Amino acid sequence: MDDTKILLSEKDLPKAWYNINADMPVPPQPVLHPGTMEPVTPDFLAVLFPMNLILQEVSTDRWIEIPEPVRDIYKLWRPTPMHRAHRLEKALDTPAHIYYKYEGVSPVGSHKPNTAVAQAFFNKEAGTKALTTETGAGQWGSALAMACNFFGLDLEVYMVKVSYFQKPYRRIIMENFGAQVYASPTDRTQYGRSVLAQDPDSPGSLGIAISEAVEVAATSGGAKKYSLGSVLGHVLMHQTVVGLESLQQMELAGEYPDMVIGCAGGGSNFAGFAYPFLWKKFTEGKNVRVIAVEPASCPSMTKGKYTFDYGDTAAMAPIVKMYTLGHTFVPPGIHAGGLRYHGMSPSVSALVDHGDIEARAVPQVATFDAAVQFSRAEGIIPAPESAHAIRVAIDEALNCKERGEKKVICFNLSGHGHFDMTAYESYLHGKLEDYAYPQAAIEEAMTHLPQVAFA
């Protein structure tokens, strides 16, 4: 089969999510209470999350059924297409076959609704009336706003301040769906006020925005729950519809990837795409290289430490073992806002540490070089986050050209860049600069890690 676009029908939509907890080659690390530093109890987690999602988080069942109301909404855009990048292959003059799974066809233009719809459904089922969340580039906030609208839930979004102003159209999308959006840090929370007191011009960070959203939920007396767009196990699991569809599409293509590639900030789009391929590797021995790509300016996996750290800046969220730059990390204002998190999903981190996933960091200018090259060949303008995966896919295809090897490369194009034009404008006008996060700043942040007996 040599088609440009490999399509599935609605009957091919997965009926269950894949839960990698069933096949992890390393034992799980405890999730710790931020105050006592002892393993968390369901009662503590229930302040933030409904019990049905907590049970998914700790489940070791390989398959978790996708409820019909969720599948019905998925059908608005799923299954998503897989493309063979013939034009990019020709432009690169490579013997490699390049495929990409395109999640930008969702109503809000990214992979994020795969978990947003699920989380809104399970919260509604549990009786939740309102949610709080954070968002970086606005992809997650847009997706959750849409999902909350579908299920009749109120939503407060704490949007990282630098993105709030860089990406006003994503804020407008959220407001269109009825969400209230605030530039974080705000004066609405105790923690936000403390950040502004120290730095009135703080650009914000995902860690700070998480702290604000967590504080609002935790102090609401049960009126509001917190929803997270990445990092946690149930979030990554909901995203596995991407990889499960991709397995079917590669079978239709008559090929199997030698490598699968995804950008990684908190880990959700990467894991959603890659984990079903790891399932095949762990259970059937199907060999595949799995590559997670992050910005050189936010290098949690490539320069961070694999240790226990808080999930947020205010040290209110649970402590997990992950690759981290330190919860006090405030990233530079790079344009890949969805990748500006201080840590990495615990399961992705464990698999990187175990050697099942390769971590790679790429600089910002080279990433946009790849984005523009891809768009001129394939016609899709990618989100800056997704362009990190494109950069490595192109690099690997050029390696194949140099070595005369025909490899099958597959990456997740996790969203389009239609609302990222200020980033492209900066690049096209030569104003985009590379930024390597300084080692001294990482070492300083490591001095603030929690003192955990398990570490």
In the chain the domains, ranked by start, together with CATH numbers, are 5-10+68-109+240-446 (3.40.50.1100), 18-66+112-233 (3.40.50.1100)
- For residues 117 and 66, is the Cβ–Cβ distance under 8 A? no
User: What tokens were used for 132?
Assistant: 């709080």
Q: Which amino acid is at 107?
A: P
| CA pair distance 420, 337, nearest whole angstrom | 10
Beta bridge partners of 413: 102
pLDDT in tens, the chain (455 residues): 568 999 999 999 999 999 999 999 999 999 999 999 999 988 889 999 999 999 999 999 999 999 999 999 999 999 999 999 999 999 999 999 999 999 999 999 999 999 999 999 999 999 999 999 999 889 999 999 999 999 999 999 999 998 899 888 999 999 999 999 999 999 999 999 999 999 999 999 888 999 999 999 999 999 999 999 999 999 999 999 999 999 999 999 999 999 999 999 999 999 999 999 999 999 999 999 999 999 999 999 999 999 999 988 888 889 999 999 999 887 766 666 567 788 999 999 999 999 999 999 999 999 999 999 999 999 999 999 999 999 999 999 999 999 999 999 999 999 999 998 988 999 999 999 898 888 898 899 999 999 887 66
The Cα–Cα gap between 446 and 443 comes to 5
> Could you tell me the pTM of the whole model?
0.96
**Cβ neighbours for 415, distance < 8 A, ≥ 6 positions apart:** 103, 104, 109, 110, 111, 112, 139, 269, 382, 383, 385, 386
Question: How many whole angstroms separate alpha carbon 231 and alpha carbon 266?
Answer: 5
Rg, the chain, Cα only: 20
Q: How far is the C-alpha of 228 from the C-alpha of 48, rounded, in Å? A: 10
The gap between the terminal CA atoms of the chain, to the nearest Å, is 50
The pLDDT score that the predictor gives to residue 43 is: 86
- Structure-block tokens of residue 85: 């990048």
- pLDDT reported for residue 338: 64
Residue 351: which region, alpha, beta or left (left: phi > 0; alpha: psi -120 to 50)? Answer: alpha
Contacts 24+ apart (CB under 8 A), 176-181: 176/145, 177/142, 177/145, 177/146, 177/148, 177/149, 178/145, 178/148, 178/149, 178/154, 179/141, 179/144, 179/145, 179/148, 179/155, 180/155, 180/156, 181/141, 181/157
d(CA 333, CA 445): 18
Local structure of 116: helix, strand or coil: helix
Task: Report which of 123, 183, 181 is spatially closest to residue 147, judged by C-alpha positions.
Answer: 123
The Cα 135–Cα 139 span in angstroms is 7
Predicted local distance difference test score (pLDDT) of residue 356:
98
Q: Which of 306, 274, 285, 298 is nearest to 101 (CA)?
A: 274
Task: For residue 80, count other CB atoms closer than 10 A to its CB.
Answer: 22
